[in-house]
């Protein structure tokens, strides 16, 4: 009997064994109604920068409390660590070369099957507050109701801004440009609280995506009360920050943590409101980020590069008790395109055929154990800040496993790290005699993954031309305000 036959028999046995438990789980949900979904999306918050992850520099008590009651995908990654690509994968459950958003400041196809559309069709009140970055018509321009909002009915959003104290937004049906009053994360949270309270007046469950612009740079613009908490002189740096930029990294990290402390208070406010409105017991909360921030590690800043500070993101999933899924840490390497199908699975909403990501519901229920042990990481076309660094950016394809990070650029093997022995990724093992067999196996696995995905790994400009994106000399899509 061949391997595929055994796999089919195994899957059938698991299905037969789990039918009753699946029915019980579904019945429990039916008794209480469809769960609400609150997605808390942050910008450039790396996985290491929380109290519950052991960061010595920051206290995040509200987030730590949420983590203690959540599934913690401690190895989650942003498969293409850039703003727009992640957001498109979050909303569609597709990989970047499928939905076409592998650059910032381009438009997601209005015909795409998205989170907002699917939940609205399932009877949910859908809302979006904050940074969008999927419209491609200018970063401060109005996004009208209809196809360009992808199924989100309530709207207080902006395309993209990082002026957190003079932050632009637009109301539901109002094309007049408005400014959030003060630090935008505070006002966006208040608006989300109002949305949640208003849902008590209806019989419909809600999907709310609250998309914060912080802790993305500029790092020193959080309210003063938070900035005063962090002294740059006491910041403990990661071991991979080189000497010449240590002082700058400390100063910037102090501001970065100030933004994080402010967001932590906002998370506490949201949890309190859910409990006060008696919606806590029936609300799924997903907390994550679109990518991380190098912040001096490996002598670099921001994202795009395949190091852990860039690709690894926090990923908490707090579930109602009636789902019967215990909280705790999970090893599976959940990727960007996996979030949407997993949420749909937990809500018992059919997953569209367009989705390419993994539904982790069975894994969380303990019925599947061999999924999510490797994730694909990608840079289709380096642009902007990374294309202006000393050696210039490079296209890459790679794998993040539980133990290794391996990447290949257009010339061949580029980086190999043993993340257990070298957690700060200081020692590149490519072509090392002691790791040549591991490198060969990872390279073969990467080739197989690319073949399955239909990814030929061509130069970035090939894809730019295919999607007809206009770029400047740095390979960046120019944008206007």
Amino acid 385: pLDDT: 72
- CATH code for the domain of 439: 3.30.1120.10
Instruction: Report, as an integer, the average pLDDT of 404-421.
Output: 97
Q: How far apart are the first and last CA of the chain?
A: 62
Tokens in use for 465? Answer: 């031309």
Asked if 415 and 398 touch (Cβ cutoff 8 Å), the reply is yes
Flag whether pLDDT at 7 surpasses 50: no
- Residues 210, 239: one domain? yes
Exposure string for 38-74, b = 16+ CB within 10 A, e = fewer: bbbbbbbbbbbbbbbbebebbebebbebbbeebbbbb
Q: Please report which confidence band the pLDDT of residue 3 belongs to, taking 50, 70 and 90 as the band edges.
A: very low
Going 162 to 239 to 402 to 362, the CA torsion angle's sign is negative
- Residues 161, 220: one domain? yes
Q: Return the closest-CA partner of residue 295 out of 261, 258, 248.
A: 248
Cβ of 251: how many Cβ atoms within 10 Å? 16
Distances in whole angstroms, Cα of residue 451 to Cα of each of 374, 406, 444, 454: 16, 17, 11, 5
- Residues 311, 392: one domain? no
Measured at the CA of 297, the angle between CA 295 and CA 298, to 5 degrees, comes to 135
Q: Which residue range forms the structural domain that includes residue 384?
A: 375-467
- Residues 100, 203: one domain? yes
The reply to whether 317 belongs to the active site is: no
Burial class (CB in 10 A: 0-12, 13-18, 19+), 401: middle
pLDDT tens figures, 73-120: 999 999 999 999 999 999 999 999 999 999 999 999 999 999 999 999
From 133, 150, 291, 298, the catalytic residue: 133
Amino acid 371: pLDDT: 80
In a domain, 476, yes or no: no
Of all residues in the chain, what percent carry a pLDDT higher than 70? 92
- CATH code for the domain of 269: 3.40.720.10
Amino acid 388: pLDDT: 61
Flag whether pLDDT at 32 surpasses 80: no
Across 3-151, where does the E strand assignment appear? Answer: 36-43, 70-73, 125-131
From 62, 83, 150, 216, the catalytic residue: 83
Flag whether pLDDT at 16 surpasses 80: no
- Residues 268, 397: one domain? no
Mean pLDDT of the chain: 91
Strands 315-318 vs 70-73: parallel, antiparallel or unpaired: antiparallel
Q: Please report which confidence band the pLDDT of residue 22 belongs to, taking 50, 70 and 90 as the band edges.
A: very low
Asked if 344 and 116 touch (Cβ cutoff 8 Å), the reply is no
In a domain, 6, yes or no: no
In a domain, 216, yes or no: yes
Amino acid 479: pLDDT: 82
Tokens in use for 97? Answer: 């070369």
Cβ of 272: how many Cβ atoms within 10 Å? 13
Helices 83-92, 339-346: crossing angle, 10 deg rounding: 30
Instruction: Report, as an integer, the average pLDDT of 220-228.
Output: 98
In a domain, 26, yes or no: no
Exposure string for 449-481, b = 16+ CB within 10 A, e = fewer: bbeeeebebeebeebbeeeebebeeebbbebee
Flag whether pLDDT at 15 surpasses 90: no
Beta bridge partners of 407: 398, 415
- Residues 80, 207: one domain? yes
Amino acid 28: pLDDT: 39
- Residues 67, 102: one domain? yes
pLDDT tens figures, 319-359: 999 999 999 999 999 999 999 999 999 999 999 999 999 99
- Residues 379, 261: one domain? no
- Residues 108, 212: one domain? yes
Flag whether pLDDT at 232 surpasses 50: yes
The reply to whether 133 belongs to the active site is: yes
Residue ending a domain, choose from 340, 368, 396 = 368
Burial class (CB in 10 A: 0-12, 13-18, 19+), 214: buried
Q: Residues 6 or more apart from 363 whose CB is under 8 A from it?
A: 330, 332, 369, 371, 372
Flag whether pLDDT at 24 surpasses 50: no
Residue ending a domain, choose from 368, 400, 435 = 368
Helices 246-276, 61-68: crossing angle, 10 deg rounding: 60
Asked if 75 and 333 touch (Cβ cutoff 8 Å), the reply is yes
Tokens in use for 163? Answer: 């002026």
Alpha helices in 210-278 (DSSP H): 224-227, 246-276
In a domain, 7, yes or no: no
In a domain, 14, yes or no: no
Q: What three-state secondary structure class fits 375?
A: strand
- Residues 139, 257: one domain? yes
Q: Is 345 left (phi over 0), alpha (psi -120 to 50) or beta?
A: alpha
Exposure string for 92-104, b = 16+ CB within 10 A, e = fewer: bbbbbbbbbbbbb
Flag whether pLDDT at 33 surpasses 80: no
Q: How many domains does the chain have?
A: 2
Predicted TM-score (pTM) of the model is 0.91
In a domain, 404, yes or no: yes
In a domain, 413, yes or no: yes
Residue ending a domain, choose from 368, 400, 421 = 368
- Residues 347, 395: one domain? no
- Residues 425, 337: one domain? no
pLDDT tens figures, 352-399: 999 999 999 999 999 987 688 999 999 999 987 766 655 578 999 999
């Amino acid at each position: 009997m061949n391997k595929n036959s055994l796999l089919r028999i195994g899957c059938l046995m698991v299905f037969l064994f789990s039918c009753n438990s699946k029915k019980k789980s579904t019945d429990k949900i039916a008794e209480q109604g469809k769960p609400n979904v609150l997605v808390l999306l942050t910008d450039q918050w790396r996985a290491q920068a929380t109290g519950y992850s052991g960061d010595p520099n920051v206290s995040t008590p509200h987030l730590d409390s949420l983590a203690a009651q959540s599934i913690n995908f401690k190895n989650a990654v942003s498969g293409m660590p850039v703003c727009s690509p992640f957001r498109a994968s979050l909303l569609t459950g597709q990989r970047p070369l499928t939905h076409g958003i592998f650059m910032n400041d381009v438009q997601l196809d209005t015909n795409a099957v998205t989170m907002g559309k699917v939940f609205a069709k399932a009877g949910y009140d859908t809302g979006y507050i904050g940074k969008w970055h999927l419209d491609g018509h200018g970063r401060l321009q109005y996004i009208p109701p209809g196809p360009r909002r992808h199924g989100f009915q309530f709207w207080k959003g902006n395309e993209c801004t990082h002026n957190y104290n003079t932050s632009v937004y637009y109301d539901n049906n109002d094309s007049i440009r408005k400014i959030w009053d003060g630090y935008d994360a505070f006002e966006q949270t208040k608006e989300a609280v109002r949305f949640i309270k208003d849902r008590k007046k209806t019989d419909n469950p809600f999907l709310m995506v609250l998309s914060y612009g912080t802790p993305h740079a500029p790092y020193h613009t959080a309210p003063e009360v938070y900035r005063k908490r962090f002294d740059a002189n006491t910041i403990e740096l990661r071991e991979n920050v080189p000497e010449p930029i240590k002082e700058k990294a400390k100063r910037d990290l102090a501001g970065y943590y100030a933004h994080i402390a402010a967001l932590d208070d906002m998370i506490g406010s949201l949890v309190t409101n859910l409990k006060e409105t008696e919606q806590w017991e029936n609300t799924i909360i997903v907390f994550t980020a679109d990518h991380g921030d190098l912040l001096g590690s490996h002598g670099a800043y921001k994202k795009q590069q395949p190091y852990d500070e860039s690709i690894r993101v926090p990923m908490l999933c707090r579930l109602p008790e009636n789902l019967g899924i215990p909280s705790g840490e999970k090893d599976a390497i959940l990727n960007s395109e996996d979030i949407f199908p997993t949420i749909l699975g937990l809500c018992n909403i059919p997953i569209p055929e367009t989705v390419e990501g993994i539904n982790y519901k069975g894994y969380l229920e303990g019925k599947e154990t061999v999924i999510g042990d490797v994730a694909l990481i990608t840079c289709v076309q380096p642009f902007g800040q990374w294309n202006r660094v000393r050696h210039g950016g490079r296209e890459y394809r790679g794998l993040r496993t539980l133990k290794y990070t391996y990447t290949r650029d257009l010339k061949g093997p580029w980086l190999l790290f043993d993340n257990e022995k070298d957690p700060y990724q200081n020692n590149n093992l490519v072509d090392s005699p002691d790791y040549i067999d591991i490198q060969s196996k990872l390279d073969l696995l990467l080739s197989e993954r690319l073949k399955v995905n239909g990814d030929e790994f061509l130069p970035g400009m090939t894809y730019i031309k295919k999607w007809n994106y206009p770029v400047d000399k740095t390979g960046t899509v120019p944008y206007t305000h």
